[in-house]
Structure 1
Amino acid sequence: MKIVLCCAGGFSTTMLMDSMKRTVKESAKLNDDDFSFVAVPVDILNSEVENCDVLVIGPQIAHRLDYIKPIIDPYHIPYVIVDKDTYGKMDGATVLKMALIARKKADMNK
C-alpha cells in the first residue's frame, strides 16, 4: 500500500511519515513490505498520485482541498485530513489507522 503524505513543504510530514513507518515496523500484525510511504509538498502532488492508495493531508493545507481533489479524484484516491492535535503529537499510529480505514471504506464502495 502506497501512502502519500502531503503538506506545505514536506518537512514536518517527513517526521509524521517516520512515525507511521515505526508503527508498521513495531506492529505484530502489519508487514513492513506491504507499505511504502512518500512525503511531498502539495505543489508536486501530481507526481505521486499514480499508484497511490491513500492520501494523508496535513492540517496546514486542509484549506487547499479545492486544489487537491481534482488531482486525486480521477484516480479514486481516498484521503484523510489529519487534525492539528494528532499532527502536533506526530501520532503515526492514529494517522496510519485513519489511512487504513479510508482505504477499506473506498474498497467497500467500489
Structure 2
Amino acid sequence: MKRIMLVCSAGMSTSLLVTKMEKAAADQGIETDIFAVSASEADDKIEDKANPIDVLLLGPQVRFMKGQFEQKLAGTNVPLDIIDMKDYGMMNGEAVLQTAINLIEDKDK
C-alpha cells in the first residue's frame, strides 16, 4: 500500500486528479491510498504516525510552500516534489502517479 498525499490551496481542484490517479493505479494493479488536502490540513496528516504517508506532492499553485514542507518533513523519509504544471493542468493521473511511485522507490534504495 502506497500512501500518496497531494497538497493544494483548498484541496478541491486536486480531488479530480486523485480520482484519475486512483484509476491509473487500479489499471496497473497498484494498491494505493491517494488523497488531497489543503495546505492548512497537511500538518495533521504529516504528523499522523498511525497512517504514515509515503510521498507528498505539492500542487503547482502552492509550489512556493516547498521550503516550509521540506522543514516539516525533515527527519522523515518522506520524499517531496511539485506536481508538473502540465500534468496537473491536463489532469494526467497516470503521469503524476508515476512521479509519486518513482519518488517512493528512490527513497527505498
TM-score normalized by the length of structure 1: 0.88
Say whether 1:42 aligns with 2:39: yes
Counterpart-to-counterpart distance in 2, 1:73 and 1:19 = 30
Mapping of residues 2-13 of structure 1, within 5 Å:
2-13=3-14
Describe the SS at the equivalent of 2:10: coil
More helix by share: 1
CA distance in 2, matches of 1:35, 1:73: 24
For 1:75 and 1:9, the matched residues in 2 are separated by 25
Letter in 2 for 1:40: V
Distance 1:57 1:81 in 2: 5
Aligned residues: 104
Segments ≥4 residues shifted beyond 4 Å: none
1:37-92 alpha-carbon deviations (Å, 9 max, x no partner): 12101111111123000111111111111221111222221022112111000000
Q: Structure 1: 5+ residue runs without aligned partners? A: none
TM-score, with structure 2 as normaliser = 0.89
Partner of 2:93: 92
Between 65-74 and 39-48, report the one with greater CA deviation: 65-74
Identity %: 26
What amino acid maps onto 1:46 in structure 2?
Answer: D
C-alpha root-mean-square deviation of aligned residues, in Å?
1.1
Q: Matches of residues 52-71 of structure 1 in structure 2 within 5 Å?
A: 52-71=53-72
Show structure 2 runs of 5+ residues with no match: none
CA contact under 8 A between 2:70 and 2:80: conserved in structure 1?
no
For residue 18 of structure 2, what is the aligned residue in structure 1?
17
Q: Is the 8 A contact 2:11 2:36 kept in 1?
A: yes
**CA distance in 1: counterparts of 2:54 and 2:95, whole angstroms:** 17
State the distance in 2 between where 1:69 and 1:16 align. 23
